[in-house]
Amino acid sequence: MDSEGGSNITGGGVSQTPPPPELGGSHHKNYLFRHLLRALLLFTMVSVACLVIFQTSSSGNENLGLKQILKRAAMPDKTVIITTLNEAWIEPNSIFDLFLESFKIGNQTLWLLKHLVVVALDQRAFDHCLKTHLHCYFLTTEGVNFSEEAHFMTPDYLKMMWTRIDFLRIVLERGYNFVFTDADIMWLRNPFPHFYSDTNFQISCDSFGGNPSDLNNAPNGGFNYVKSSNKTIEFYKFWYKSREYYPGKHDQDVLNKIKYDPFVRDIGLGIKFLDTVYFGGFCQPSKDLNLVCTMHANCCAGLDNKIHDLRILLDDWKNYLSLQEDVRKTETPSWSVPQSCG
pTM of the model: 0.79
> What are φ and ψ of residue 190, in 5° steps?
-65, 120
19-28, 140-149, 316-325, range with greatest mean pLDDT: 316-325
* Helices within the chain (DSSP H only): 26-73, 95-105, 123-132, 155-173, 230-241, 251-258, 262-266, 303-322, 325-331
Q: Is the pLDDT of residue 140 over 50?
A: yes
Residue 11 lies in a domain: no
Which residues lie below 8 Å from residue 133, measured CB to CB, with a gap of 6+?
100, 113, 116, 118
For residues 266 and 239, the answer to whether their CB atoms sit within 8 Å is no
Q: Report the percent of the chain where pLDDT is more than 90.
A: 65
Instruction: Summarize pLDDT for 272-303 with one digit per residue, the tens.
Output: 999 999 999 999 999 999 999 999 999 999 89
Which residues lie below 8 Å from residue 114, measured CB to CB, with a gap of 6+?
73, 134
Q: Is the pLDDT of residue 246 over 90?
A: yes
Residue 6 lies in a domain: no
Residue 117 lies in a domain: yes
Residue 35 lies in a domain: no
Q: Are strands 201-207 and 218-226 parallel, antiparallel or unpaired?
A: antiparallel
Q: In this predicted structure, what is the pLDDT of residue 250?
A: 85
Mean pLDDT of 135-154: 62
For residues 98 and 90, the answer to whether their CB atoms sit within 8 Å is no
Residue 245 lies in a domain: yes
Residue type, position 79, single letter: T
Q: In this predicted structure, what is the pLDDT of residue 35?
A: 59
CATH number at residue 304: 3.90.550.10
Residue 254 structural domain: 76-331
Q: In this predicted structure, what is the pLDDT of residue 151?
A: 45
Question: Quick count: other Cβ atoms within 10 Å of Cβ 39?
Answer: 10
Residue 314 lies in a domain: yes
Total structural domains in the chain? 1
Residue 103 lies in a domain: yes
> What are φ and ψ of residue 140, in 5° steps?
-100, 145
For residues 132 and 114, the answer to whether their CB atoms sit within 8 Å is no
Q: Is the pLDDT of residue 7 over 80?
A: no
Q: What is the mean pLDDT of the chain?
A: 83
Residue 126 lies in a domain: yes
